[in-house]
Every structure is written in C-alpha cells, then in structure tokens.
Structure 1
Amino acid sequence: MKKIIPALLLSAAASTGAQAQTFCMYDPVGAQGSAFALAKDYALVAKSWGANLELKAYTDERVAAEDFKAGQCDGVGITGLRGRQFNAYVGSIDSIGAVPSYDHLRTVIQVLAAPASEKAMLNGQYEVAGIFPLGAAYVFVRDRAIDSIEKAAGKKIAVLDFDKSQARMVQQLGAQPVASDITNFTAKFNNGQVDIVVAPGIAFKPFEMYKGLGTKGAIYRFPLVQLTGNLIIRPDRFPEGFGAKSRKYILSQMPTAQRTIQQAEDGIDEKYWLDLTAADKAKYTLMMTEARVQMTKDGFYDKKMMNLLKKIRCKYNAAAAECANNIE
C-alpha cells in the first residue's frame, strides 16, 4: 500500500503537468484555413516548451476574443486591431501611417521580441506571446475616378465597428463611415453597399474582391496601415517562460509570413493597381500624421508605441521632416 500511494501521487502530478491549454484561433475560413494550419505547426513546437495546446477554430473574431476574455480560452490568435483591448501598446502598431514598409515592421517585431521588451508584453492577466504580419492595408475603390483625398468626400467607406479610430479618420475625409466587421466588410464592398474599403492584399482572392472592383475599380498602391496578428495568452496557465519562447519562434517565422503576403500581392492583376502622384502621397502622409497625433492625444493609440515607431521611421529615413520636430 505504501508503494501504491506515491505512485498514484506521481501519476496525478504527471497528469496535471500535461493538462492541455485551449488555444482559440481566428481564421475566416475556419479549421481549413491557412492561419489555422500555421497554428497546428505552432502547437507542435509548443510541446517542446512544455505546453499541450488544444486548438479551436473560430470564424468570428469577436466571439474568439470574448471567449478568451471570459476565460474559456487560455490563449487566442486574433488581429492586432482586436487585440488592442488586451495590450494597447502592442495594439497600437496598427496605427495609420506609422509603419511605412515591411522592413519597418520587421524591425518593430524584432524590438518587441527582445528580452528588453518583456515587461511591455505583459498587461495585467494577459501577455502578448507573438506578433506576426498580415500585410499592408490598401485603399480599394469601386471607381478609379476616386483617385484623390478630395474625391473621397461624401463616399461610403466601410470601417470596423470596434475600431473607433477608423470612423474618426473617415469623418475627417468628409466621407460617410459604414460600421462593419471582419466577416462582412468585403461583402459590403463587393455588393456596392460601400464605395471604398481598406484591406490587405491577402484578402483579395479569398474574399473575391475583384467582384467589387469590377471593370472600373482600383487599388491605391500606397499602404495606409501595416496590419498585424497577435497571439495572446493568460501566462498563469502556461509553463514559465512560454511567452518569451513563443515570441522568439514567431519572429523566426517572419520570412515565411512575408513571402506569403508578397505572393498574394503579386497575384493581383496589375490592371487593378493605381499609382498616386507624388503630391497626393505627400497629402496622404501629412493627413495620416495629423490624424495619428490627434488620435494619440485622444487615447486611441499608445504614446510610448508612437514614440518607438517614430524612432524606427527616423532610423530608416533620418532626413524626414518629422525627425526634426517633436510633434510625435
């Protein structure tokens, strides 16, 4: 009997250590989607960190975030825009005009995956365990005659209902924001409910956005935002050090993610792309800067992240006018 009791205790301890963590992954296509496929690879690697992830696919991002908030998920994979509620610092990467290129974004993610940023990844009971690129977001218009800021006035533009900064930006253009969510904003563009939508190149094929573009539409070859995805966990439900290992691994996967994004953009027929004039690009840049500064003052964006993003922009272009002022 004396031998049996310790054996039972050891068995129970082993069972507790092997207890699975529920990881809820948003993928618009569901369990057959590319994001969920990557999550399967992630789960295999996570075993070496002492975690046993049980993946659960969600086609509704809002539900995934709410289930995570309610404690039904130990970890969640969602967009940075939706993830802002769990960590405003990381969630502010997806701010308008703040990350001009994929090179800039790679530097941002490298900085945040470093040990020096570990404290910033924690916010209360939540920890950002990985940041990955989803691609630059471009302006899609149903009529290429809408080729300037001024011509956007009065037009209907789809905005994500949970991201108030988008509605603010659209109103500044004199346009009409139409509340939407990730599951229907492209459909509204395709069926003509809105004239303009902002979306990444990776959305073009799966969401059949060529239907909305038709024969007159266009895509501005000018990124407004670098969209990111977040892996967020409740660290108390994971092995010690899981978050740091996860961030390092996700960083190592960036080249693969960027190739996927580039292939999607390269796969869009050249006839859809519209190059803006240098004057219009300058207008857009100024407009985005002014909007970003105001939205930071209003609390939409995290000021510390805005400072970091400016430092990174100035690292790539020290001659930029913003590097000589203290506006941001």
Structure 2
Amino acid sequence: MRFSRFLSVALAALALGVTSQASANTQLRLCVFDIIGTSGDIYNLMQDYRTAALGQGVDFRMRAFTDENIAYEELTGGQCDVAAITGIRGRQLNSYTGSLDSIGAVPNYDALRMVAQVLASENPRITPNLRNGPYEVIGIAPMGAAYLFVKDQSINNVNALAGKSIAVMEYDVAQGRMASRVGMSPVMSDITNFSGRFNNHSVDICFAPMAAYGALELYRGMGEDGGIVDYTLGQLTIQLIARHDKLPEDFAVWSRKYMFEEIYDRAQSVVDNAYKDVRDDRWIRISEEDTLSYDEMMRDARIDLTQQGVYNADMMSLLRNIRCRLDASRGECSESRE
C-alpha cells in the first residue's frame, strides 16, 4: 500500500514536471509553404526541425500552405512568427539571401552547398546581413536548380527563345526583365498557376526546378516534342525567415547550424531523386560555346539588376568569389565586375 502510494506520487510529480516543461517552452507559429501540402517533402523536413527545436525550448505550431503568397502575407501580417518560403519570394524581406536565387549566379550544387555553409558559419562579416528590419533568415535548404521547360525541343538556343511566351513569377522583377532581354514575352504568373499555363499550352516555356516535372506534371505541357534545356538558370532555395523579436536568445544561431548540418543534405537528396523521373532524351543539350555565351549573358543581366537594386551587391560579390574558388579558369575571375 505504501509502495502504491509512493508510485502514485512519483507519477504525479513526473506529469507535473512534463507539464511545467511544456508550459516553459516558447510557443511560436511556423508557416510552411509546400505546394503538396502536409504530405510534401518540405513540410516533412520542417516537422523534424520542429521536433529538434523542442530541445531548444521552442514549441512550434505548424501550418502548411500550398499558396506561397498566403504564407508570405501571414508572416508579414504577424500571424506567423517564422515562415518557410522560397528565397525569391523572401527577397522582399531580405535582399541579401533573396539574391542567392539570382539568375546564373550559382552554377551547380557544390557551389550552393558552399554558400549555405558560409551563411551558417556565423562569420561576423556575413551574419549581420541575415537580419533586415524585423526579419531574420534562420536557415536555408536547397529546392533544386531551375531549368527552362519547353514544349518544343527546337527551342534550344537564345535565338529560338525570341517571340516565345514564358510564365514568370509576378513578384520577381528579374525573371520578367531577363525574359524581355532575350526577346521572350513574359506572362505574369504565380506559384499556383504557372504550371497550369504551361500544361494547357497558354505559354511556350516555364522556369522551374526538377521536382516540378513530376509534382506539377510538367511532362504534360512538354508533350512528346518538348524538353528541358540543360543549363542551370538559378538555384532555388527554401528559407526560414523569422520575426526576430519573437525568438529566444541564440535560437537563430542554433537554427542556422541545425538547418545546415541536419536538414540541408536530406533536402538535397530529395532534389537529386527528382532527376530519376526524367528520361535522358528529355534533356536538350547545349554546346560548350553556347554555355559560355549564356554565362556571359547572365552575368551582364545580374550586373544590370544589381545596379537597379534588384539584387544585393554584397551577395553578388560572395557568389562570384565562390564560383572562382571552385573554378579559377572562369573568365570572370580575372575581373571584378560583380
């Protein structure tokens, strides 16, 4: 009888301790953009992030959004304390990390990983750039390189792009200006309708990561004659953007480190798996000469967009340094235009 009473008291104390710990946690709202919703890869990765954050005293209430614009507005309106949105969409809140997704600036996944490592390093020259006004970037993960998906494989060089229509994100000035620069007709779209416009042939071309081939059924828009231009136009990222006054002290530092060390490679594996769905004959290969020409064209466009204030000059300089560290033979490495 005495033992039974002791056990009851012990269990009650344990329960009280668990309840007290839960109430001691800072409760925050985490809004996650995932075009697939709660069954999507991004949402699942953020669930693991939520579990790890409990150990840091933060208890996230998660919500999934299939419309990125709503997730963005919930963050800026104060209904979300942290949001997982694309770097392109987040550029309006932080031009430094938002410029990571700039056209042609990150040519491959090795370069992207190096950038992410630098941003998570808490370098005193870098970290201040991660905060802008009330917002702070507290983690970055890859969403995949973006390519041109076309409905006709004869669209295989810059000259062939002229006169073609392309779906571009209405909130990304760079996409529209770049399209116009090469003679394409930009059709203002958003994340909810760009794939539909391509699939029902309202536009000739769209710009998307490889995951969209299966998830958004872009193969329908490509039909039997279409393809994917084998040139990396940019690297898309998912970025955790927080209202920094809501975060406990040192949580942002922990978050950036955790996202790079525990989430980044898993997100990259998801990106890599998406390529397995694409037949080799779907790729439109381009010559080395054309590749060098595109590199130069993209660089000129980035310089113009940076001068216009669309891209962040400090990020452009960092990305150039990383490109040249990985490949010192690049023509731009003997100059300092970016």
Do these two structures clear the TM 0.5 threshold for a shared fold by scoring above it? yes
**2:194 equivalent in structure 1:** 185
Which structure 2 residues correspond to residues 31-50 of structure 1 after superposition, within 5 A? 31-50=38-57
Tell me if 1:207 matches 2:216: yes
Aligned residues: 318
**Does the 8 Å contact 2:140/2:264 carry over to 1?**
no
Give the Cα–Cα distance (whole angstroms) in 2 for the partners of residues 280 and 266 of structure 1: 26
Deviations 1:201-224 (A, max 9, x none): 011101111101111001011111
Amino acid at match of 2:333: C
**1:4 equivalent in structure 2:** none
Give the Cα–Cα distance (whole angstroms) in 1 for the partners of residues 23 and 98 of structure 2: 33
**Does the 8 Å contact 2:25/2:54 carry over to 1?**
no
Amino acid at match of 1:293: I
Which structure 2 residues correspond to residues 166-245 of structure 1 after superposition, within 5 A? 166-245=175-254
**2:170 equivalent in structure 1:** 161
Give the Cα–Cα distance (whole angstroms) in 1 for the partners of residues 104 and 26 of structure 2: 43
Tell me if 1:317 matches 2:327: yes
TM-score (norm 2): 0.91
Alpha-carbon offset, residue 176 of structure 1: 0.3
**1:281 equivalent in structure 2:** 291
**Does the 8 Å contact 2:140/2:239 carry over to 1?**
yes
Three-state SS of the structure 2 residue aligned to 1:137 is: strand
RMSD, aligned α-carbons: 1.6
**Does the 8 Å contact 1:128/1:230 carry over to 2?**
yes
Which structure 2 residues correspond to residues 113-152 of structure 1 after superposition, within 5 A? 113-116=120-123, 117-152=126-161
Label 1:112 to 1:66 Cα distance change in 2 as closer, same or farther (>3 A). Answer: same
Three-state SS of the structure 2 residue aligned to 1:312 is: helix
Deviations 1:255-313 (A, max 9, x none): 21112111101221112111101222122111101101100000000000000000001
Give the Cα–Cα distance (whole angstroms) in 2 for the partners of residues 119 and 162 of structure 1: 25
Deviations 1:208-241 (A, max 9, x none): 1110111100101111101111001112212111
Give the Cα–Cα distance (whole angstroms) in 2 for the partners of residues 79 and 232 of structure 1: 10
**1:76 equivalent in structure 2:** 83
Give the Cα–Cα distance (whole angstroms) in 1 for the partners of residues 284 and 246 of structure 2: 48
Three-state SS of the structure 2 residue aligned to 1:318 is: coil
Alpha-carbon offset, residue 133 of structure 1: 0.4
Deviations 1:5-28 (A, max 9, x none): xxxxxxx99786434101111111
TM-score (norm 1): 0.94
**2:317 equivalent in structure 1:** 307
Three-state SS of the structure 2 residue aligned to 1:24 is: strand
**2:63 equivalent in structure 1:** 56
Three-state SS of the structure 2 residue aligned to 1:162 is: coil
Deviations 1:133-190 (A, max 9, x none): 0000011110001111001101001100000111000000111000000111111111
Amino acid at match of 2:50: A
Quick one: which of 253, 260, 264 aligns to 1:254? 264
Tell me if 1:266 matches 2:304: no
Return 5+ residue gaps in structure 2 as ranges.
1-18
Tell me if 1:296 matches 2:306: yes
**Does the 8 Å contact 1:22/1:54 carry over to 2?**
yes
**Does the 8 Å contact 1:118/1:244 carry over to 2?**
no
Deviates more, 1:95-104 or 1:279-288: 279-288
Three-state SS of the structure 2 residue aligned to 1:294 is: helix
Amino acid at match of 1:150: N
Deviates more, 1:25-34 or 1:298-307: 25-34
Alpha-carbon offset, residue 30 of structure 1: 1.3
Three-state SS of the structure 2 residue aligned to 1:52 is: strand
Give the Cα–Cα distance (whole angstroms) in 1 for the partners of residues 44 and 38 of structure 2: 8
Give the Cα–Cα distance (whole angstroms) in 2 for the partners of residues 35 and 291 of structure 1: 31
